[in-house]
Structures are given as C-alpha cells and as structure tokens.
Amino acid sequence: MQLVTYLAGRTPRLGAVWHDVVLDLRNLSADMAAQRAARPARDALLPVSMLALIDGGPALWARAHEVWRYGCGLVDTLDPADLQSRHVARPLARARLLAPIPRPRKNIFCMGRNYAEHAAERGAAPPDRPVFFTKPPSAVIGPGAPIVHHAITQALDYEVELAAVVGRGGRDFGADEALGHVFGYAVLNDVTARDLQKAHQQWFKGKSLDTFSPMGPVLVTADEIPDPQTLGIRLRVNGVTRQEATTGQMIFGVAQLLAALAAGMTLEPGDILATGTPSGVAAATGAYLKVGDVVEAEIDGLGCLTNPVVAAEGQR
Ligand code: MG
C-alpha cells in the first residue's frame, strides 16, 4: 500500500493511493461494513491517523490491507462521481498531501556518512560504526511545502535519504530480524545548514531548523519493498540531477542500522530512521540552494518528494 496523510478541509486523514485516486481508509472501512449488511462496529473502522494505524499492530495492518483491496475494486469498477458521492475517494491531483507522519512523536533518528563517496566528499573516512544524530519533529513538512531559507544560513544544502518507519517496536534484536520491525519506507530530505553544522560542531542545530525535514509523498508498506538495498535514489535541483546512486551503496544497510540503534535502546512504533545520503551534496561543489529553487528527492518505488525553497517571512 502507498499510504498518505491528506487534508480533508482542515483535518488530516489517513489515505491510500491507487492509480490517480486517494482512498479514505476510515470511510472505506465504514462503506465496506455497510455493503456487507453489517452494522459497522467501532472496531471494524480504521483510524484516521497514520500513527494510530501503526500503533494498531499487525491485526490492524491486515485489516487496512483488506479495506484497501476493497477500495481498489471500487475504483476499478465505479465512475469517479460515484466514488466521491460515497466519500471514499478523491482525485490525487486535488488532494493536499502532508508528510505521511505529519508530527512524529519523537526526534527522527538519522545516520551520517553512510555512503562511502559522500563521506569522502565531506573529507571524512567511512565510519567503522554508525554515526547517529537526530532531527526534531518540528522540522517535518510534507510534499509541496516550502523549505524556508532562514536568514541564519548562507549554506543551505539537501540530502535525499531512504527513511524506514518502525512498526513493531523492540530492543536488542539482531540484523537478521530487523526488517521484520519495519512498517514501511518513505523519501526524506535531510535539509542542512552547512555553516551552522560546522559552527556548532555538533550536527543537531544545523539540521533541525523549521522545514528541514521534508518527507513523503507516500509511506509504502514494507511488504512492497522486500529488499530496501536495491532502490535507485536521486535528487534534482531545478531539474538538474545532483545525486544519483542506489541504496545498495550504503555502508550499513537498513537492517544493520536498526539493530545497532536498538541495542540497549527501545525502538517504538512510529519511530523514523533516515539512513544517510549519497554523494553529490552542495557542500562538495558550493552550489547551495537559493530562494526560488525546486528540489526533487526521489527513490524507486517510493515516489518523488518535491519542495520549493522560499525566503523566510520578512526576509528578502
Ligand atoms: Mg543526512
């Protein structure tokens, strides 16, 4: 499933994309129960938020898949007007998508220097152990939302990354079990103010400004990504390719990273791990992001995350 969080009026709701339509999973679950002549019991209904779905565990995920397959059948057989009148679907082109998890409960776990060529372009040796840091929930924005070029930085950079979202929590599990803890995958752009990163010596500040964690457009469930180390990953600025690699070039794969992170530290449903970026960042060339630029971060099977760069309000 390609899960999304979309805005219906002013309310974020859980959806799933099928062809060019966003299915509303809560309304679909009610429609399905009604069509089967059953009074929809409260526990038959799906939640309206992504985190509530993730928290629900495997039984609820299986139910979401069942409801989604029912919705796909409706999309394939009904005409669009009927779909909309039943409040179960709307055209993707007219849906405003938010980040799949618009406000994570915890900081996003991130991995630094996880591609050898990127470590080299930053003048660093490949690490022997994963280099972890975090970004705060307040930095998250969705597809289409602007990345703010805060006045505090003159070195605004991008980093396309594969993000894994934890479904089943746990601690002290091995790399061989780790992918079983993943709920799904998404594109994340680890936007970075390089000058702040350097000035403060520790990475947190330079990577944590408001709007510095674009994520989306979709969260693809793990069943559709059996091997997360085989995906093409790339980033364009104004249509020009800046980063181009495959996730197979990671030094530590998703499973190794999760196992290392979970050693002695509990991972919980909804936790997000960004797995590092390939070479081609602006810090290596000096071609930093400018107001007016459009950044497209893309991973095979996970879609394209597009965000414009804008000036902060009150700035020129
Ligand atoms: Mg990064």
What does the pLDDT read at residue 41? 65
What does the pLDDT read at residue 303? 98
Which residues have CB under 8 Å from 267's CB, separation 6+? 166, 169, 170, 171, 181, 258, 261
Residue with tokens 């936790």: 271
Who has greater pLDDT, 173 or 81?
Answer: 173
The average pLDDT across 6-29 equals: 95
49 CA → ligand 1 middle, Å: 27
277 CA → ligand 1 middle, Å: 5
281 CA → ligand 1 middle, Å: 10
pLDDT tens profile 88-139: 999 999 999 999 999 999 999 999 999 999 888 888 888 999 999 999 999 9
Q: Radius of gyration (Cα) for the chain, nearest Å?
A: 20
Read off the pTM: 0.96
**Beta-bridge partners for 162:** 187
172 CA → ligand 1 middle, Å: 25
122 CA → ligand 1 middle, Å: 12
The average pLDDT across 19-44 equals: 85
Averaged confidence pLDDT in the chain: 95
What does the pLDDT read at residue 35? 86
pLDDT tens profile 176-221: 999 999 999 999 999 999 999 999 988 999 999 999 999 999 999 9
pLDDT band at 42 (very low <50, low <70, confident <90, very high): low
**Beta-bridge partners for 106:** none
Q: How many other C-beta atoms can be found within 10 angstroms of the C-beta atom of residue 223?
A: 10
